[in-house]
Chains A and B, each alone.
Chain A
Amino acid sequence: MSSSGSTTPARQLRCCGASGCRSAGSEELQAALEAARDAAGHTAQELAIKPVGCLRLCGRGPLVACDGPGGTTLYGAVPPTEAGALIEAARLGDHGNDTLQTSRLDPQLPFFALQSSVVLEGCGQVDPESIDDAIAFGTYSQLRRCLHELTPEEVREQVKRSGLRGRGGGGYPTGLKWDTVALQPPGPRYVVCNADEGDPGAFMDRSVLESDPHRLLEGLAIAAYAVGADRGYVYVRAEYPLAVERLRKALQQARRAGLLGNGIDGTSFSLTIEVRVGAGAYVCGEETALLQSIQGQRGMPRPRPPYPAQSGLWGAPTLINNVETMAAVPVILREGGDWYASMGTAGSKGTKVFALSGAVTNTGLVEVPMGTTLRSVVEVIGGGVPDGSPIKAVQTGGPSGGCIPAELLDTPVDYESLMELGSMMGSGGMVVMGETTSMPEVARHFMRFSVNESCGKCVPCRAGTVQLAQLLDRFVERRASPADMAKLDALCRMVKATSLCGLGQSAPNPVLSTLRYFRHEYEAACRQPALCEQP
Chain B
Amino acid sequence: MSVITLSVNGKEVAIPEGVSLLEATRAAGVDIPLLCHLDGLEPVGACRLCLVEVEGSNRLMPACTTAASEGMAIHTHTHQLLDYRRMAVELFFAEGNHICAFCVANGNCELQNVAVQVGMDHSRFPYQYPQRVVDASHPLFAIDHNRCILCTRCVRVCDEIEGAHVWDVGSRGSHCHIVAGLDQPWGEVEACTNCGKCVDVCPTGAIFHKEDTTAEKLRHSDRPALLKAARDEHVWRNQ
What chain A residues lie within 8 Å of B47 (beta carbons)?
A: 458-459
State the CA gap A463–B176 with chains docked (Å): 11
Which A residues lie within 8 Å of B162 (CB)? none
Q: Which residues of A contact B150 (CB under 8 A)?
A: 456-457, 459, 462
Q: A462-B95, A464-B91 are in contact. Are A303 and B176 (CB under 8 A)?
A: no
Asked whether B60 lies within 8 Å of A303 as measured between CB atoms, the reply is no
Interface residues in B90-106 (C-beta closer than 8 Å to A): 91-92, 94-95
Q: Does B124 contact A (CB under 8 A)?
A: yes
Contact A455–B173 (Cβ < 8 Å): yes
Task: Contact check, B169 vs A494: say whether CB atoms are below 8 A apart.
Answer: no
Closest to B64 in A: A303
In the complex the two chains form, is A459's CB within 8 Å of B48's CB?
Answer: yes
Count contacts on A: residues with CB < 8 A to the other chain: 33
Find out whether the CB atom of A491 lies under 8 angstroms from the CB atom of B175. Answer: no
B72-117 with Cβ < 8 A to chain A: 80, 83-84, 87-88, 91-92, 94-95
Q: How far is the CB of B121 from chain A (nearest CB, A)?
A: 17
Q: For the complex, is B171 an interface residue (Cβ under 8 Å from A)? A: yes
Distance in angstroms between the alpha carbons of A497 and B169 in the assembled complex: 25
Question: Which listed residue, A302, A490, A499, touches B44 by the CB 8 Å rule?
Answer: A302
Residues on the A chain within 8 Å of B45, using CB: 302-303, 458, 500
Bound: A407/B87 CA distance, A:
36
| Separation of A300 and B94 alpha carbons in the complex (Å) | 23
* Nearest CB of chain B from residue A198's CB, rounded to whole Å: 13
Distance A513 CA – B184 CA, assembled complex (angstroms): 44
With A303-B65, A467-B91, A467-B125 known as contacts, the answer to whether A459 contacts B46 (CB < 8 A) is yes
**Separation of A67 and B47 alpha carbons in the complex (Å):** 60
Q: Which residues of A lie under 8 Å from residue B173 when comparing CB positions?
A: 451-456, 461-462, 465-466
A462's contact among B62, B65, B67, B176, by CB below 8 Å, is which? B176
Question: For residue A298, which residues in chain B have a CB less than 8 angstroms away from its CB?
Answer: 168-169
State whether the Cβ of B137 lies closer than 8 Å to any Cβ in chain A.
Answer: no
Residues on A with C-beta less than 8 A from B126 are 467, 470
B152 CB to nearest chain A CB (Å):
8
CA A451 to CA B47, docked complex, whole Å:
17
- Does B237 sit within 8 A of A, measured CB to CB? no
Whole-angstrom distance between the alpha carbons of A470 and B44 in the complex? 28
Please measure, in the bound complex, the distance between the C-alpha atom of A104 and the C-alpha atom of B47, giving whole angstroms. 58
Chain B: CB-nearest residue to A283: B172
Interface presence of A428 (CB below 8 A) = no
Q: Which residues 269-305 of A have a CB within 8 angstroms of B? A: 281, 283, 298, 300, 302-303, 305
CB pair A487–B44 under 8 Å, yes or no, is no
Q: A467-B125, A491-B87 are in contact. Are A459 and B92 (CB under 8 A)?
A: yes
Roughly how many angstroms separate A454 CA and B173 CA in the complex, as a whole number?
Answer: 5
Cβ-defined contact, B88 with A456, below 8 A: no
CA distance A38 to B209 in the complex (A): 79
- In this assembly, does B174 line the interface, its C-beta being within 8 Å of a C-beta of chain A? yes
A459 near B172: Cβ-Cβ < 8 Å: no
| Contact residues of A between 468 and 524, Cβ < 8 Å to B | 470, 487, 490-491, 494, 497-500
Picked from A281, A302, A452, A459, the residue with its CB within 8 Å of the CB of B91 is A459
Q: Are A456 and B84 in contact (CB under 8 A)?
A: no
Contact pick for B60, options A305, A491, A497, CB 8 Å: A497
| A-contact 0/1 string along B170-193, CB 8 Å cutoff | 011111100000000000000000
How far does the Cβ of A38 sit from chain B's closest Cβ, in whole Å? 52
Interchain CB contact under 8 A, A498 and B95? no
Instruction: Tell me if B88 and A453 are in contact (CB < 8 A).
Output: no
Measured CA separation A499–B88 after assembly (Å): 10
Contacts of A61 in B (CB 8 A): none
Query: Is A456 within 8 A of B172, CB to CB?
Result: yes
B7 within 8 A of A: no
Contact call A487/B176, Cβ cutoff below 8 A: no
Would B174 and A460 count as touching, CB distance under 8 A?
no
* Nearest-Cβ distance from residue B23 to partner chain A, whole angstroms: 16
A494 to B66, CA, bound (A): 20
Partner of B92, one of A451, A452, A457, A463: A463
Chain A: which residue is nearest B43 at the CB level?
A303
Residue B128 interfacial (CB < 8 Å): yes
**Pair B128/A498 contact, Cβ less than 8 Å:** no
Q: Which residues on the B side are within 8 Å of A470 (C-beta)? A: 126
Q: Give Cα A406–Cα B80 distance, bound, in whole angstroms.
A: 34
Residue numbers in A under 8 Å from B83 (CB-CB): 490, 494
Q: Quick check: A458 and B94 within 8 Å, CB to CB?
A: no
Q: Is the CB of A454 within 8 A of B87?
A: no
Q: Give the distance in Å from the alpha carbon of A462 to the alpha carbon of B88 in the complex.
A: 11
Q: How far is the CB of A459 from chain B (nearest CB, A)?
A: 5
Q: Please indicate the chain A residues that have their CB under 8 angstroms from the CB of B174 in the complex.
A: 451, 454, 456, 462-463, 466
In the complex, chain A residues whose CB is within 8 Å of the CB of B92: 459, 463
> A472–B126 Cα gap in the complex (Å)?
13
Decide if B51 is an interface residue (CB 8 Å cutoff).
yes
Residues of A within 8 Å of B176, CB to CB, are 455-456, 462
Q: Which residues of B contact A499 (CB under 8 A)?
A: 48
For window 364-380 of A, CB contacts with B under 8 Å fall at none
Residues of B within 8 A of A465 (CB): 173
| CA of A283 to CA of B172, assembled, Å | 10
Nearest residue (CB) in B for A500 is: B45
Smallest CB separation, B89 vs chain A (Å): 9
Residues of B within 8 A of A466 (CB): 95, 128, 173-174
Report whether A303 and B88 are in contact in the complex, using a CB–CB cutoff of 8 Å.
no
Of all chain A residues, the one with the shortest Cβ separation from B48 is A498
Q: Is the CB of A457 within 8 A of B44?
A: yes
Q: Given that A281-B172, A298-B169 are contacting pairs, would A458 and B65 also be in contact in the complex, using a CB cutoff of 8 Å?
A: no
- Tell me if B46 and A458 are in contact (CB < 8 A): yes
CA distance A458 to B172 in the complex (A): 11
Q: Tell me whether A463 and B91 are in contact in the complex, defined as CB-CB below 8 angstroms, given that A453-B173, A454-B173, A456-B169 are known contacts.
A: yes
Residues of A within 8 A of B (CB): 281, 283, 298, 300, 302-303, 305, 451-467, 470, 487, 490-491, 494, 497-500
The 4 A-B pairs with the shortest beta carbon distances in the complex, nearest first, are A456-B176, A454-B173, A463-B91, A463-B95
A-B contact pairs, 14 of them (CB 8 A): A303-B45, A303-B65, A452-B172, A453-B173, A454-B174, A456-B173, A456-B176, A459-B48, A460-B48, A463-B125, A464-B91, A467-B91, A494-B83, A500-B62
Q: For the A-B complex with A456-B176, A463-B174 known, give 17 more contacts whose Cβ atoms are closer than 8 Å.
A: A281-B172, A303-B65, A305-B66, A455-B172, A456-B171, A457-B150, A458-B48, A459-B149, A460-B91, A462-B150, A463-B94, A465-B173, A466-B128, A497-B80, A500-B45, A500-B46, A500-B48
Q: State the B residues within 8 Å of A (CB).
A: 44-48, 51, 60, 62, 65-67, 80, 83-84, 87-88, 91-92, 94-95, 124-126, 128, 149-150, 168-169, 171-176
